[in-house]
Structure 1
Amino acid sequence: MHPIVIIGSGMAGYTLAREFRKLSPEQELVMICADDAVNYAKPTLSNALVGNKVPDQIGLGDAEKMSTQLTMRIENHTWVKAIHAEQHELVLEKDGKTTIQPYSKLILAVGANPIRLAIAGDGSDDIHVVNSLMDYRTFRNSLDQCNTENCDDKRVVILGAGLIGCEFANDLQKTGHQVTIIDLASQPLGRLLPTHVAQAFQEGLEHAGVQFALGTTVEKITKLAEHGYTVTLANGQSFKADVVLSAIGLQPNLELAKTATIQTSRGVITNTLMETNYTDIYALGDCAEVNGMLLPYVMPIMQQARALAKTLSGQTTTVHYPAMPVAVKTPAAPLTVLPPPIDVEVNWENEEFEDGMLSKAIDAEGTLRGFVLLGATAGKQRLVLTKLVPDLIPASI
């Protein structure tokens, strides 16, 4: 029997391998990835500075360790050039050599890539993105270099006021950096928060020292003669920066799926069994659009991996999506968000606290469909409220 093959060594791929091994210790398992296959939790990257973790402390195990731990062959620094779905084969390339890898089941756990803006100026090539431990290592090297060059201000400009941008801003501000966040939207976390909560959240970060330039975008980034950059905005403002970080969002990595005529929309389209339109090909993680939902967060990945591991071991299991709140790692303005479904019209009901607020998203039938908790007092209601929100995908009977 041919092996089960996982493409991708991120959280989704490793979580699936771990869950599968609990159920099926003997089945041959292969992981293929273009990177070094170091296992780490990506969410730790955006608060590693406050946690005093250097990049070498973030990795949980290299390819050799993970291969032994999971009884799995790991082919790192290997590119999948083609999927031949009818033949159940992959075309691989490593060190200039091409090989064929047969599979019994194939799982796409290929993640998402950072969105990159076309920005003018001779400094635009120096913009950092942090979507992997390798990216983070490069970013930290730039921060460390700034420290050794006596950049007194240690100025960091972040493009994007979404979840990751705000988490990095909090982490950097708390470790002595001057941070400015730039976003075209008129508020931070524009896709997650109602306006009144977003304003209070922004004020919390501003009180901690984070600056915002909203409702505008970056026009060009120019290198300075001594060190650093001038970041010029479309509204005429400009900021000096020692390091520029782009965190404007991610797009699922769909190129491989498209070339194999696997159906895609915003992500790789799957049903609740994580199946694509091809027999024996599945997808999970940041690249997977499950039942029309693209949820690039930790809890959905865990739910997907547990269900798919059972299916792969012979126990056909649909994924269960309970209500899954997202805790934003911004201690300066503690925030938990459970966004209502995008196709459901809601009214927001608000309750004020001395240190924040609770906002409930109520639908036309009076059902709680989501909520936002800002501040420590409101945060205590997370478990109670979560139980009141209907499942996104019910558990199978």
Structure 2
Amino acid sequence: MSSNRTFVIVGGGLAGAKTAEALREKDFDGSIVLLSEEDHLPYERPPLSKEHMAGKKSLAEFTVHHGDWYRDHHVDLRLGTTATALDRDAHLVTLPDGSTLGYDKLALATGSRSRRPPIPGADADGVHFLRTVEESDALLDALSPGARLVVIGAGWIGLEVTAVARDRGVIVTVLEAAELPLLAALGAEMGTVFAEMHREHGVDLRFQARVEEITTADGRATGVRLASGDVLAADAVLVAVGAQPNIELAESAGLTMDGGVVVDSALRTSDPDIVAVGDIAAHFHPVLDTRIRVEHWANALNQPAAAAATMLGHPTDYTNLPYFFTDQYDLGMEYVGYAPHYARIVVRGDVARREFVAFWLDGDHRVLAAMNVNVWDVGDVVRALILGRMPVDPVALSDPNVPLTEVAA
């Protein structure tokens, strides 16, 4: 190798592995050190609550690269190792054994962890969280036919596990503090679609539920007690109330924070020699003209290409629209765009059959985001509608007989 520069990547998930891959694809010939806290080769996390949980994919099938790839591409992958401190002035990261590792450029890809609310009994055996493959395996072992599972949280992970559990004959109760599932992500109208679907599959959904305690006996979870006084018996409890970004290293190093590590459009932090990608990146999105932090697979997959270019001295804006997907029972869904505030939702298709596309519009009838449910091959035109920022005719938008390319107002 002709370059004597060293680029260090902290975080051995999808974002970290893809950053190493992008650096080599962009012909960086210096040293790359990838620090991974887990002992596994970097892997993707969506299957943990989807195909792997359903027994359809093994870890090897969603591992980003197999071991030979790191050797062949001269990536020094250090499993079971992460940075414990960061000295920006000296360009050093401290490792768990007290040694230090110098860097010329640094990528932070530390991801997130399960949020752990202070619920009494949450540390008992039989209480599950879902972030690692070991946690997925442990939860899967508990999902035997006839077992009773209580899921705390009706977000994406909670509902995906619920669907897998029901398919396996598990009795499931879902507890959600809000009025509907996915309320913050999708709003009431689409949240109702998911609520009805789960009820059709025999799920006991309880909204505006406040958990007081996970009851235990001999150190093992036996149920969940609500503020109402109700006690729900359980053989297993899944706590799925969101994720917490792993920002402690960046924060202690004095990088600018805003709910995550603040990065510009090209994923640079407040330190020009450090980029941040994936769950932790509070990114100024140049298309949406706002700062957003997205905890979804697509950012971990796609941001590294821009980050690698920026590390190599060619700042490249990351412009991909936010994207996520889910699979629950016979429902497959993709969502693209960003609609924290919207005026209305327009639906094209058959909601009852769960074959439709929903569009989130602003007050000027511009498409902010869209969700296709069991309708495929519309991704490109939907993205064009969002990026075009042109008003649409809501009536035409709702009519399946009008091509999406002809819905402009």
- Normalized against structure 2, the TM-score is what? 0.84
* Alignment-derived partner of residue 140 in structure 2: 140
Q: Would the aligned equivalents of 2:298 and 2:322 in 1 still touch at CA under 8 Å?
A: yes
Which of 332, 343, 346 in structure 2 is aligned with 1:346?
A: 343
Which of 325, 333, 336 in structure 2 is aligned with 1:335?
A: 333
Deviation at 1:252, TM superposition (A): 1.0
Deviation at 1:340, TM superposition (A): 3.4
* Alignment-derived partner of residue 206 in structure 1: 199
Deviation at 1:136, TM superposition (A): 2.2
**Identity of aligned pairs, percent?**
24
Which of 132, 135, 147 in structure 2 is aligned with 1:154?
A: 147
Q: Which has the higher contact order (CA 8 A, sep 6+)?
A: 1
Which of 214, 222, 231 in structure 1 is aligned with 2:224?
A: 231
Instruction: Give the aligned residue type for 2:140.
Output: R
Instruction: Give the aligned residue type for 1:207.
Output: E
Kindly report which structure 2 residues correspond to 1:50-65, keeping only aligned pairs within 5 A, or say none: 50-53=54-57, 58-59=62-63, 64-65=67-68
Task: Mark the CA change 1:338 to 1:130 in structure 2 (over 3 Å): closer, same or farther.
Answer: same
Instruction: Give the aligned residue type for 2:332.
Output: P
Instruction: Give the aligned residue type for 1:32.
Output: L
CA-to-aligned-CA distance 1:225-249 (integer Å, 9 cap, x gap): 7975121112233222111111110
Q: Would the aligned equivalents of 2:361 and 2:367 in 1 still touch at CA under 8 Å?
A: yes
CA-to-aligned-CA distance 1:27-74 (integer Å, 9 cap, x gap): 210011222142211111111232434556654556x54531432112
Q: Would the aligned equivalents of 1:222 and 1:231 in 2 still touch at CA under 8 Å?
A: yes
* Alignment-derived partner of residue 258 in structure 2: 265
Deviation at 1:370, TM superposition (A): 1.3
* Alignment-derived partner of residue 108 in structure 2: 108
Instruction: Give the aligned residue type for 1:219.
Output: E
Task: Mark the CA change 1:123 to 1:100 in structure 2 (over 3 Å): closer, same or farther.
Answer: closer
Task: Mark the CA change 1:333 to 1:109 in structure 2 (over 3 Å): closer, same or farther.
Answer: same
List runs of 5+ in structure 2 lacking aligned partners. 285-290, 390-409
Q: Would the aligned equivalents of 1:224 and 1:230 in 2 still touch at CA under 8 Å?
A: no
Instruction: Give the aligned residue type for 2:137.
Output: R
Secondary structure class of the residue paired with 2:360: strand
Instruction: Give the aligned residue type for 1:311.
Output: T
Deviation at 1:332, TM superposition (A): 3.7
CA distance, structure 2, for counterparts of residue 351 and residue 57 of structure 1: 35
Q: Would the aligned equivalents of 1:272 and 1:319 in 2 still touch at CA under 8 Å?
A: yes
* Alignment-derived partner of residue 387 in structure 2: 390
Which of 81, 85, 95 in structure 2 is aligned with 1:82?
A: 85
Task: Mark the CA change 1:27 to 1:67 in structure 2 (over 3 Å): closer, same or farther.
Answer: same
List runs of 5+ in structure 1 lacking aligned partners. 393-397
* Alignment-derived partner of residue 184 in structure 2: 191
Kindly report which structure 2 residues correspond to 1:270-281, keeping only aligned pairs within 5 A, or say none: 270-281=263-274
Q: Would the aligned equivalents of 2:246 and 2:280 in 1 still touch at CA under 8 Å?
A: yes
CA-to-aligned-CA distance 1:110-164 (integer Å, 9 cap, x gap): 0112111111248646421111223323333444xxx5xxxx6222211110111
Secondary structure class of the residue paired with 2:83: strand
* Alignment-derived partner of residue 13 in structure 1: 16
Q: Given the alignment of the two structures, is residue 49 of structure 1 paired with residue 42 of structure 2, yes or no?
A: no
- Normalized against structure 1, the TM-score is what? 0.87
Aligned residues: 377
Cα RMSD (Å): 2.5
CA distance, structure 1, for counterparts of residue 372 and residue 106 of structure 2: 40
Farther-moved stretch of structure 1 (333-342 vs 162-171): 333-342
Farther-moved stretch of structure 1 (2-11 vs 238-247): 238-247
CA distance, structure 1, for counterparts of residue 278 and residue 220 of structure 2: 39
Secondary structure class of the residue paired with 1:13: helix
